């Protein structure tokens, strides 16, 4: 029996086992929760309720604290992560959107690289994340330019202002020369909260793989080392005001190994990032809230290849500031924001700027079983002016069933590199724009006090015009050459069983995506009606966990469907399965709370590629220990 048949059989048995269950009133917690109000960002809390939202549980964040965000999303969600290797760049592909069409928010601030227009989620350590949620689908009127596929939002520093002192240290080691060390310190009282943390990592990444002739090889020139540090200090002078300042510093040095079509590589990449954030929250009454924030981000990217005497350095900086007011009374909520986002980089003998200045407003009516939201944004993007709008509607039939739909306008202005990179930038580029429609439901089922289920289903369609492609030979240039239509179906299940002191959680999340080119400005273009490159037709994750006293076990299996690496579907990357195992044990060591972690990735040593000609590692492990004081 093939792997696909086994996967479908397991899925069928799972659905059959739950089909006879009846409705009830409440649900317990899940390993991967499907909730709405967990973020500290009111755009997500209040004004995105008509969109599908997934909350990553704190237990999951704890299990992946020694890994990066790309690994967590790959193993826990059906989002396709385009990874260039064990220590390479990793980007988002949500619902068939390009890497530049999804946002990553840190404490409400966009942190995508302003030059590239993308975020490298492999460089974001889970260790610092306190809470995290995914908002699927477009909402340009609420989140601004670039929010087409969805948003990954996380927070690293939510102060509690309680009398508290604690510290944590961890050590980790694993296959291919992996080594990690990190720690956190937190001190707080009713007026002050201070936290700081760091993580340092290194790896040789010298794993074995098979070349194009089937011969066993070992990856060379693939070493990695880096560190990251996040610190925050918050001050609460009274019950109405909170001031907070945060600093996030990172540096990563990566050797880039040869692809399968290369005999040798001397490529290296060095990334340095500084992120600063100052914010203020004010609650003047039970109805009024105010907030203001300002941030500065500096990204330095160095790339060198001694074989061709190439040594480049790119500096790009950006500032994001926002003032907001919120008013709530009875069934009505209003939000008004004034965001200003300016980014700049030097190009030859001048500096190029990209400015985004907007006025955004949102209204929600929450009446009985109905919730209606309208969002509007008027923005000036360089010399272009745009008016964006969106609507969401949800209906809660009872405590167990909720139906939702939304209609959103989408928009993305070109990045600095797309406009001004020398040589190759195209200042005549038009913004990508279109519409997104979605309908779905969330069904809560409970058979007994010890057995419960959540089912979430979403169907969506999106049309994007002026899709940007990079084309060329010696010099690549971006062009608006296509219109792309994306349609899909997402089916998620989370199933819980409690028996005595043991707790089982079983989940299956599937995503089906059809993202095709519908129009092209290239004569006789073979991409019409073909799937967008590196967009799998199907992604699925099956995971099961057991918590028993101080022990926890989890196994998950991911399936990634075939991908095409060119626009006319003539180049194919095979589908693959990976199986991953995690074990955790809590104990007391020297009177300190201690956890031991073991993770085995690619348990059955699958030989696969995510990106064509970039082999991924076989079976590998990571073992660690953390101690809390």
Q: How far is CA 81 from the centre of its chain?
A: 9
Confidence of residue 39 (pLDDT cuts 50, 70, 90): low
Total Cβ atoms within 10 A of residue 591? 7
What would the pLDDT profile of 325-370 be if each residue is shown by its tens digit? 999 999 999 999 999 999 999 998 899 999 999 999 999 999 999 9
- Alpha carbons 150 and 97: distance in angstroms, whole number: 9
Report the mean per-residue pLDDT for the chain. 90
**CA–CA distances in Å: residue 145 to residues 18, 220, 464, 573:** 41, 40, 13, 31
As a 3-state breakdown, the chain gives helix, strand, coil percent values, each rounded to 5, of: 10, 60, 30
- Cβ-contact 484, 515 below 8 angstroms: yes
pTM value is 0.91
Output phi, psi for 99, to 5 deg: -60, -30
- 124's torsion region: left (phi>0), alpha (psi -120 to 50) or beta? beta
Domain positions in the chain are: 17-263+275-306+318-628
What would the pLDDT profile of 69-91 be if each residue is shown by its tens digit? 999 999 999 999 999 887 789 99
Q: Which range among 35-39, 161-165, 182-186, 504-508 shows the weakest confidence by mean pLDDT?
A: 35-39
- Alpha carbons 292 and 326: distance in angstroms, whole number: 12
pLDDT at 188 over 90: yes
- Cβ-contact 76, 56 below 8 angstroms: yes
- Cβ-contact 37, 45 below 8 angstroms: yes
Output phi, psi for 190, to 5 deg: -60, -15
Q: What percent of the chain has pLDDT over 70?
A: 94
Q: What percent of the chain has pLDDT over 90?
A: 74
Confidence of residue 22 (pLDDT cuts 50, 70, 90): very low
pLDDT of 38 reads: 57
Buried b / exposed e along 466-503 (16+ C-beta atoms within 10 A): bbbbeeeeeeeebbbbbbbbbbbebbbbbbbbbeeeeb
Name 457's Cβ contacts closer than 8 Å, sequence gap at least 6: 440, 441, 489, 490, 491, 492
- Cβ-contact 323, 338 below 8 angstroms: yes
- Alpha carbons 50 and 32: distance in angstroms, whole number: 20
Peptide bond connecting 153 to the previous residue in cis, omega within 30 degrees of 0: no
602/46: higher pLDDT: 602
pLDDT at 106 over 60: yes
- Alpha carbons 300 and 98: distance in angstroms, whole number: 23
Candidates 2.40.170.20, 3.40.50.410, 3.90.1150.10, 2.60.40.10; correct CATH number of 17-263+275-306+318-628? 2.40.170.20
Output phi, psi for 189, to 5 deg: -145, -175
- Alpha carbons 256 and 202: distance in angstroms, whole number: 14
Total Cβ atoms within 10 A of residue 451? 18
What would the pLDDT profile of 420-478 be if each residue is shown by its tens digit? 998 899 999 999 999 999 999 999 987 777 888 999 999 999 999 999 988 887 789 99
Which of 84, 63, 87 has the alpha carbon at shortest distance from 75?
63
What's the alpha-carbon Rg for the chain, to the nearest Å? 24
**CA–CA distances in Å: residue 566 to residues 465, 512, 559:** 19, 20, 21
pLDDT at 63 over 90: no
How big is the chain, counted in residues?
629
- Alpha carbons 528 and 482: distance in angstroms, whole number: 9
């Amino acid at each position: 029996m093939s792997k696909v048949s086994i996967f479908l059989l397991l899925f069928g048995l799972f659905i059959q086992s739950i089909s006879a269950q009846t409705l009830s009133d409440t649900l317990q917690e899940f390993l991967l929760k499907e909730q709405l109000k967990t973020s500290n960002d009111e755009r997500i809390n209040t004004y995105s309720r008509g969109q599908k939202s997934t909350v990553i549980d704190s237990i999951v964040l704890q299990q992946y604290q020694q890994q990066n965000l790309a690994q967590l999303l790959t193993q826990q969600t059906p989002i396709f992560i385009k990874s260039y290797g064990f220590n390479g760049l990793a980007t988002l592909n949500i619902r068939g959107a390009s890497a530049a069409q999804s946002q990553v928010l840190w404490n409400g601030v966009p942190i995508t690289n302003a030059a590239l227009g993308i975020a490298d989620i492999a460089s974001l350590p889970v260790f610092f994340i306190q809470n995290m949620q995914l908002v699927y689908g477009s909402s340009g009127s609420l989140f601004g330019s670039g929010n087409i596929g969805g948003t990954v939002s996380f927070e690293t520093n939510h102060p509690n202002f309680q009398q508290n002192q604690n510290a944590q240290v961890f050590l980790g080691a694993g296959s291919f020369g992996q080594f990690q060390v990190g720690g956190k310190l937190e001190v707080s009282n009713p007026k002050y909260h201070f936290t700081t943390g760091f993580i340092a990592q290194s790896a040789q990444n010298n794993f074995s793989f098979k070349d194009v002739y089937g011969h066993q090889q070992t990856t060379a020139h693939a070493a990695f080392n880096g560190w990251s540090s996040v610190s925050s200090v918050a001050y609460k002078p009274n019950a109405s005001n909170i001031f907070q300042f945060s600093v996030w510093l990172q540096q990563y040095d990566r050797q880039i190994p040869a692809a399968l079509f290369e005999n040798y590589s001397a490529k290296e990449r060095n990334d340095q990032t500084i992120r600063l954030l100052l914010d203020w929250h004010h609650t003047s009454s039970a109805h009024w809230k105010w907030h203001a924030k300002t941030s500065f981000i500096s990204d330095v990217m160095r790339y060198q290849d001694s074989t061709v005497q190439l040594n480049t350095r790119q500096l790009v900086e950006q500032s994001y500031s926002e003032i907001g007011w919120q008013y709530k009374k009875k069934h009505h909520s209003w939000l008004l924001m004034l965001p200003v986002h300016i980014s700049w980089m030097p190009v030859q003998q001048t500096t190029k700027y990209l400015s985004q200045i907007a006025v955004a407003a949102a209204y929600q009516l929450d009446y009985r079983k109905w919730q209606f939201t309208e969002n509007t944004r008027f923005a000036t993007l360089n010399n272009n002016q745009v008016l964006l709008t969106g609507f969401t509607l949800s209906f809660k039939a009872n405590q167990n069933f909720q139906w939702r739909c939304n209609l959103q306008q989408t928009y993305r202005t070109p990045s600095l590199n797309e406009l001004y990179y020398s040589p190759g930038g195209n200042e005549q580029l038009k913004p990508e724009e279109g519409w997104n429609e979605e309908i779905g439901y969330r069904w809560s089922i409970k058979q007994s006090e010890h057995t419960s289920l959540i089912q979430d289903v979403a169907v969506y369609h999106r049309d994007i015009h002026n899709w940007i492609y990079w084309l060329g030979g010696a010099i690549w240039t971006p062009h608006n050459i296509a219109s792309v239509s994306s349609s899909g179906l997402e089916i998620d299940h989370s199933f819980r069983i409690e028996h005595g002191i043991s707790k089982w959680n079983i989940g299956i999340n599937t995503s089906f995506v059809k993202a095709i080119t519908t129009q092209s400005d290239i004569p006789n273009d073979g991409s019409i009606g073909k799937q967008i490159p590196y967009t799998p037709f199907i992604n699925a994750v099956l995971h099961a966990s057991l918590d028993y006293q101080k022990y926890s076990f989890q196994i998950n299996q991911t399936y990634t469907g075939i991908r095409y690496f060119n626009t006319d579907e003539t180049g194919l990357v095979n589908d693959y399965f990976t199986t991953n195992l995690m074990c955790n044990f809590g104990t007391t060591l020297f009177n300190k709370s201690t956890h031991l972690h073991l993770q085995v990735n690619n348990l059955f040593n699958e030989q696969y590629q995510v990106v064509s000609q970039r082999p991924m590692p076989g079976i590998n492990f990571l073992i660690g220990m953390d101690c809390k004081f």
